[in-house]
């Protein structure tokens, strides 16, 4: 299996390797594989018409769709930078805010999901979610907190929170939670 992250470069390489665009037919299909998006590329050599050679299949991770962005709302600079780094390493674009008020000003159609700290001043994570839901926005939210209480979990369920992550945030858990809410949303 060949894995490649840039379809344009891959296509140019394949065309060059086959000595011209007339020698290949590239077709793409989007696949869902355990919550992750992949692109399947099938390459049909021209000589396949006269021979029994099967097409070459390449599978590689798809790019984030339509420049959707993840809003990261965290008042602690170090934690915010860490979350942003995790998300960027996974190929996501990010927008940053230090509190709920600033985050509300950044909400737009390009925001695919939000990772929000629970305890912030002057507007915390739950107040931010209430304000977002009050605007009839169904943006998926992942809460990040230093403590997990029954009340917090009840509030998270009430407001449709996608996940609650305990600090320190573990990269794999964050990425899996983001992928899950994005697939659920259809982004």
CA atoms 4, 8, 11, 16: torsion sign:
negative
**Number of structural domains in the chain:** 2
Note the pTM of the prediction, 2 decimals. 0.65
pLDDT band with cut points at 50, 70 and 90 for residue 31: very low
Confidence at 24, pLDDT banded by 50, 70, 90 = very low
| 135: in domain | yes
Q: What is the pLDDT of residues 35-56, one digit of tens each?
A: 344 445 555 454 444 445 555 5
- Same domain, residue pair 36 and 122: no
As given in the structure block, the two tokens for residue 136 are 């009839």
* Domain range enclosing 150: 65-185
Instruction: Check whether residue 56 and residue 26 sit in a common domain.
Output: yes
Same domain, 118 and 40: no
Region of residue 139 (phi > 0: left; psi between -120 and 50: alpha; otherwise: beta): beta
Clarify whether residues 57 and 81 are in a common domain: no
């Amino acid at each position: 299996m060949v894995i490649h992250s840039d379809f344009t470069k891959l296509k140019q390489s394949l065309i060059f390797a086959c000595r011209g665009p007339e020698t290949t037919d590239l077709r793409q299909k989007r696949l869902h594989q355990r919550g992750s998006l992949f692109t399947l590329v099938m390459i049909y050599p021209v000589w396949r018409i006269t021979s029994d050679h099967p097409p070459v299949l390449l599978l590689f991770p798809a790019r984030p769709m339509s420049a959707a962005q993840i809003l990261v709302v965290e008042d602690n600079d170090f934690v915010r930078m860490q979350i942003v780094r995790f998300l960027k390493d996974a190929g996501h674009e990010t927008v940053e805010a230090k509190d709920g008020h600033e985050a509300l000003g950044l909400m737009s159609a390009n925001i695919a999901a939000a990772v929000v700290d629970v305890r912030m001043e002057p507007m915390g994570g739950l107040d931010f979610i209430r304000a977002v839901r009050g605007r009839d926005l169904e943006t998926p939210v992942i809460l990040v907190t230093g403590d997990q209480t029954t009340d917090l979990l009840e509030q998270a369920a009430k407001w449709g929170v996608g996940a609650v992550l305990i600090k320190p945030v573990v990269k794999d858990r964050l990425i899996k939670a983001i992928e899950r809410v994005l697939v659920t949303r259809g982004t």
